[in-house]
Amino acid sequence: MVNEDDAEAVPLFVKLAYPLATHILAPDCCRVGKWESKKISYKGYHELAYLYPGRFIPDQSVIKKMNPDEPYFILRFAKLNAHHDTGVTGITTRLAEQVISKLAKHGRIYITSERELEPQFEKYRINIPPSDIHQAMYFAKMYIGDSQTMASEAAVLGTPSLRFNDFVGRLSYLEDLEHNYQLTFGIKTNEPEKLLSKIDELLSTPDLKKVWDERRKKMLANKTDVTRFMVDLFENYPDSLRR
């Protein structure tokens, strides 16, 4: 069983899957509740399985049509309709308008959205293959959204990352990225002004991407190549458990 969400954040999944699992493969910072004896932990995040240096190779030619010579920002609007999203909210239309108004003075804006976009936002819809989104995120000046996974992906790529939803403070892997490495910042939905203020703070930070690159290097120095770890674990199981 592979998971990186804390047990209390996905109770239905845990109830159905954890009792049947022989092992639970999860980041060392992830809480698995009463199933700790089943946990196989590793120093990393799921996102590092495919975004670890060498597995992800930045290629600016992929995003030529996005005008890479001009700074740009990526906004992500999630549907928030999974079983664990009940009662969870994110970026509203009004807040999105405020964010866009603020960012438009500093570069282009691209939106990737699970939910249906309001007509006024359609002109910002990103027009690249989904397989290229990580390239776009790597070269972006900032990521802002209400998606957990994309916030984490931006963070491990070294792109300043802001997430705005009701999961803030509830997921250990994002808390690790925020409080130990300052690669992402979580803001709860009752504090929209804090989000706008944080955007201003980041926009006024000299050499923003260089600052994040140094923070990313610090994070990577403490994490493992997750793909290599998993391949070794599976190919050499059960001997790999005794190492």
pTM to 2 decimals?
0.92
79 CB-near residues (< 8 Å, 6+ apart): 85, 114, 115
* pLDDT, tens digit, 9 for 90 and up, residues 70-118: 899 999 998 753 444 444 578 999 999 999 999 999 999 999 998 888 9
Among candidate residues 124, 120, 111, 119, the one with its CA nearest the CA of residue 78: 111
Express each pLDDT in 130-186 by its tens digit: 999 999 999 999 999 998 899 999 999 999 999 998 889 889 999 999 999 999 999
Q: Please identify, in words, the CATH class of the domain defined by 59-221.
A: alpha beta
pLDDT, tens only, 36-52:
999 999 999 999 999 99
Compute φ and ψ for 191, nearest 5 degrees: -130, 55
- State yes or no: pLDDT of 53 exceeds 60: yes
Please count the other Cβ atoms lying within 10 Å of the Cβ belonging to residue 148: 24
pLDDT of the residue at 85:
43
Domains of the chain by residue range: 7-44+224-242, 59-221
Q: What is the pLDDT at residue 65? A: 75
Rounded CA-CA distance 33/46 in Å is 19
**Phi, psi dihedrals of residue 145, rounded to the nearest 5°:** -170, 180
Taking the C-alpha atoms of residue 174 and residue 97, their distance in angstroms, rounded to an integer, is 26
Both ends of the chain: CA-CA distance in Å? 20
What digits encode the pLDDT tens for the residues 182-206? 999 999 999 999 999 999 999 999 9
Amino acid (1-letter code) at residue 207 = D
**pLDDT given for residue 55 in this prediction:** 95
